[in-house]
Structure 1
């Protein structure tokens, strides 16, 4: 048999207050005495506490367990809601980042397109500037050609440009230019003189008194060229030929030439006994040595001729110094040495570049007068 519940077993039965007083003796309310406790009938029920395994949970414990369960469900719900919200927020952030990336890519593409357009515009501007420069140059060229044509027309309209006068003036200008160029390029005095000599009669045939000053200038320039004398190159070449010519190959020829002069008998006798040789000619007694020395002398003479032809004054001076050294060895003790040294001094004094202060004055005056 199943035992009774605990709350039923612990019920205390008390007697009601009305049962404490007899029904026949009722006291008035004003004279009622406070009830006195009377022993109540208490039924004591023995409680079997040996078996508590099937004891049901009290309502307080049940309500606490329900509250905990509800709190756990609430926390789980909040956690789920928080996780869902976090995922939604992450998704929104990813969308925002993707949108930002797309916008940035679009802006970069736009900037690149703008830069390409700017470069294209710059190239077009450069091409336009180059075209404008070419057109400006062509326009300037057209202006210059127009000015040249106008000048030519004005010259054709000038009375001094007609006929034989214009032709003669052109011939005179050409001859004067040739003479000036020969002087400037090669210092050719003879060629310049011939050019001026050809230009003088052509200019003299002009009867216009406006060219009288030009005729006087041409005469002065001719006189200045004539005053310079012969071309120094010809003079230097002739002196150089005299310098290196007729040098004896044997030392005995020099000795015999010295003995051929009038010398006392005792000097000739001593010459047979004692041989006197200058120290400068030491090492040149043999035929081969003198031949090599003469070859070196001719080589230096060739270098001197080349310096004269190209009007190299410094090169000529150096070659003459070396020639003097070889002559002192080859002609030591000979009276020819003094003569050759005088020729060397004359060559040192020659100026291969003659000064022509009036060169080109007639040509400059002619061009100025024709252009004016």
Structure 2
């Protein structure tokens, strides 16, 4: 016969110890969830910070590029301005040198004219005859006119003509002291001829006269017209000569 073993029941103490396991597992899950949320929040914060940092870097790089472009443009503009300033300085230097040369030339002419006037004035202090005094006054007046014309109009040809008149006026004087003045006038004439200033007004007048003379010239005729005019002139000449001379053939004499 088989013996039946009675079912073993759990002890009361062991049942009381197994029941608190469920609350502990729920607390662990909650803690893990919190940790996960914190990690996700940290990751999100890091991602947001990284995105903002990249955006700021892109903005700053674009701003730096714009600033660099502006700096390059300013540098090019500054270089162009420097070139313009250098060009203006060179032009100013050229104009200053040209003005200085013109000023020196005018001063030289004025000094020579003053020397001529002084020489004529010194001669006036001496005893001169009536003829010499008239020649001296005429030469002095002509020299003053020549100096004024050269200073105002730069008319070299008119000035040379006036100097020649003054020289001829002094040549008629008998006093040998006028020889020095004539030498000074000759030197002044040579200086003006060597300078060769521009005769703009005289050139324009010459061109105007040439143009007027060209308008009065006859046009070129064709060969047929020239032959016809030649035959007409010959026939007219024969008619005129026939009134005075008659030509006849003497056959008996032959």
**TM-score if structure 2 supplies the norm length?**
0.41
Question: Which structure's relative contact order is higher, taking Cα pairs within 8 Å and 6+ residues apart?
Answer: 1
Give the number of the structure whose alpha-carbon radius of gyration is greater: 1
TM-score (normalizing by structure 1): 0.29
Question: Greater helix percent: which structure?
Answer: 2
